[in-house]
Amino acid sequence: MSLSLDDVQRIARLARLEISSSEAEATQAKLHGIFDLIAQMQAVNTTGVAPMSHPQDVVQRLREDAVTESDRREAFQAVAPEAEAGLYLVPKVIE
């Protein structure tokens, strides 16, 4: 894929970025480098390679799922401006 300077300026305008013509040329060169890298990666034959969710085969150690805090719901709701049936009542902000 090839981008012209007009394309780079248009993308910058859409992104609400103000860039000079020299910055547009530098950005164009960087984008062409990115597109070349993408083309190289797409050229690799990945037939028979299973997709993976992580590049390393690691397992995360999990801690025991145990309750460590006491239930303080009543204390928290006692200081709330308004609460009803275990729920906090707030003013309506969207009509």
pLDDT at 10: 95
pLDDT at 87: 93
The answer to whether 22 touches 5, Cβ cutoff 8 Å, is no
pLDDT at 31: 94
Does residue 78 lie within any of the structural domains?
no
Count up the domains in the chain and report the number: 1
pTM of the model: 0.51
Rounded mean pLDDT of 70-89? Answer: 92
Q: How do residues 27-59 score in pLDDT, each as one tens digit?
A: 999 999 999 999 999 999 999 988 888 888 888
Rounded mean pLDDT of 1-17? Answer: 92
Neighbouring CB atoms inside 10 A of 71's CB total: 8
Does residue 16 lie within any of the structural domains?
yes
Does residue 24 lie within any of the structural domains?
yes
Does residue 68 lie within any of the structural domains?
no
pLDDT at 57: 81
Residues 6+ apart with CB under 8 A from 19: 8, 9, 12, 27
How distant, in Å, are the alpha carbons of 18, 19, 33, 35, 89 from that of 23? 9, 6, 15, 18, 53
Does residue 14 lie within any of the structural domains?
yes
CATH of the domain at 13: 1.10.20
Domain residues for the domain of 23 are: 5-43
- Helix H or strand E encompassing 88: strand 87-88
